[in-house]
Amino acid sequence: MQAEVSDAERLYIAQGVAQDLRNDGRGCRDLRPLELELGVIAAANGSSRLHVGATDVIAGVKVSLGQPEAGAPDKGQVFVSVECSSCASPEFKASPVERPGKGPAAVEQAGLRGSGRGLAAAAAAAARSQGRGGEDWGIDMAAALQSALRATMDRHALCVLSGKTCWLVHVDCLVLNDGGAVLGALSVAARAALAVTRLPKVEVTMGEGEDDEPEIELGDDSEGTPLDVTTLPVIVTLGQIGSRCVADLTAEEEPCASAVLHVAVGPQGRVAGSSKAGGGGIGQAVLIEMLETAQQLGPRVIRELDSFLAASAAAPGG
C-alpha cells in the first residue's frame, strides 16, 4: 500500500535519489537493517518477527499431516496466508484470508501455477490492489509468496506415504506495519520461520492385510527433522525513480516510483521469478541494472539471515 506523499515531498525524494542520497540517508542500492526475532509464537512449529525500518511483520509455521494433491502424490503441500492489521495502514481493514480447505480459489486464481509466471501474476495483482483494503492486499501477497515457496522448496521431502499422506506446511503471516517493501520482508520472515521449523518424527506401521490402513505415530518436535530451506529465495523490491534504480523502497518512496520490480532470488543469485508493478515502463538499461542488483542483494540477505540463524542455534538454549 502507498503512503500519501505531497508533490513537494515527491520532488525532494526524486532530487535526493538523483544524487544517490535518499531521505533516510541510504544510497540507492542500500538495504535497511534487518532486526529479527525467533520463537515469537509459542504454539507454532516455527516463528519469527522482522523489523525492516518501519515495516513490521510476523511469520508463523504450523505443520500437520494430510493428503497430497492428486497430481503430485510424492510431494507435500505448502500454503501461505497473509493478514494485515488494521493498524498497519489507514486503508487496511482487519479480515482473515481464506484458509486452504475453506476456499482456496481466491489465492489459486491469483497465480500459483508455476514459479516465475505465478509470482508475476500474483505480484502484479498486488500492485493493482492499491486502495482495496487489507483483505484483498493480503490475498495477493499470500499468492506471491506461496508461488515462490512452492516453486523452490523440496516438497518431495514432505512426503510420508506416496499418494496417501504428506506434510502440510502452513505459513501464516501478519503485517503489523507497512513501512515499504512488505513483500520482501514477508519473504525473509517466512524463510526464517521455516528454517527453525522441525517436522516431528514419524513412525509408520503397515497393516497385516493389503486393505489395512497403515498406522502413523508422531514423535516429539524436538526429535524431528529440520526443514530444508537452502533453496528458498527472498524477494527483492526495486523501484525506478527518475532514471535511477532504488532498492528496498520505503512507504514514502513507493508512490514516487514510476515502476516497481519484485524479484525472487535464490542463495546463488538465480532468479526464481519476477514481476513489474506500476504504470510506467522500464527501459532496457534500467531493467538490466535492476535484475543485476537483485542478484547481488538477494544472496547477501540470505547470507546475513543464515549467519543469524546459525548463531542463534549455537547460542545456549538455541
Q: What is the pLDDT of residues 217-255, one digit of tens each?
A: 777 766 788 999 999 999 999 999 999 999 999 999 999
Answer yes or no: is 5 within a domain: no
Answer yes or no: is 3 within a domain: no
More confident residue, 134 or 263: 263
- Residue 62: strand pairing partners: 170
What pLDDT, on a 0 to 100 scale, did the predictor assign at position 202?
A: 83
Do 189 and 58 contact (CB within 8 A), yes or no? yes
Answer yes or no: is 16 within a domain: no
If phi > 0 it is left, if psi is from -120 to 50 it is alpha, else beta; for residue 269 that is: left
Question: Residue 48 corresponds to which amino acid?
Answer: S
Write out pLDDT tens, residues 116-158.
444 544 444 444 444 455 677 788 889 999 999 999 999 999 9
Answer yes or no: is 7 within a domain: no
CA–CA distance, 272 with 114 (Å, rounded to integer): 10
Answer yes or no: is 11 within a domain: no
What pLDDT, on a 0 to 100 scale, did the predictor assign at position 158?
A: 95
More confident residue, 279 or 33: 33
Domain CATH number, residue 235: 3.30.230.70
- Mean of pLDDT values over 248-274: 94
- 207 phi and psi, to 5 degrees? -70, 160
Do 85 and 176 contact (CB within 8 A), yes or no? yes
Q: What is the 3-state secondary structure (H, E, C) of the chain?
A: CCCCCCHHHHHHHHHHHHCCCCCCCCCCCCCCCEEEEECCCCCCCEEEEEEECCEEEEEEEEEEEECCCCCCCCCCEEEEEEEECCCCCCCCCCCCCCCCCCCCHHHHHCCCCCCHHHHHHHHHHHHHCCCCCHHHHHHHHHHHHHHHHHHHCCHHHHEEECCCEEEEEEEEEEEEECCCCHHHHHHHHHHHHHHCCEECCEEEECCCCCCCCCEEEECCHHHCEECCCCCCCEEEEEEEECCEEEECCCCCCHHHCCEEEEEEECCCCCEEEEEEECCCCCCHHHHHHHHHHHHHHHHHHHHHHHHHHHHHHHCCCC
What pLDDT, on a 0 to 100 scale, did the predictor assign at position 96?
A: 43
What pLDDT, on a 0 to 100 scale, did the predictor assign at position 128?
A: 41
Q: Domain count of the chain?
A: 1
Answer yes or no: is 162 within a domain: yes
What pLDDT, on a 0 to 100 scale, did the predictor assign at position 115?
A: 39
**Which structural domain, as residue segments, surrounds residue 298?**
21-206+213-314
Write out pLDDT tens, residues 91-118.
554 444 444 444 433 343 333 333 344 4
What pLDDT, on a 0 to 100 scale, did the predictor assign at position 82?
A: 95
What pLDDT, on a 0 to 100 scale, did the predictor assign at position 88?
A: 64
Answer yes or no: is 59 within a domain: yes
Write out pLDDT tens, residues 29-88.
999 999 999 999 999 999 999 999 999 999 999 999 999 999 999 999 999 999 987 676
What pLDDT, on a 0 to 100 scale, did the predictor assign at position 209?
A: 64
Q: Is the pLDDT of residue 2 over 90?
A: no
Answer yes or no: is 14 within a domain: no
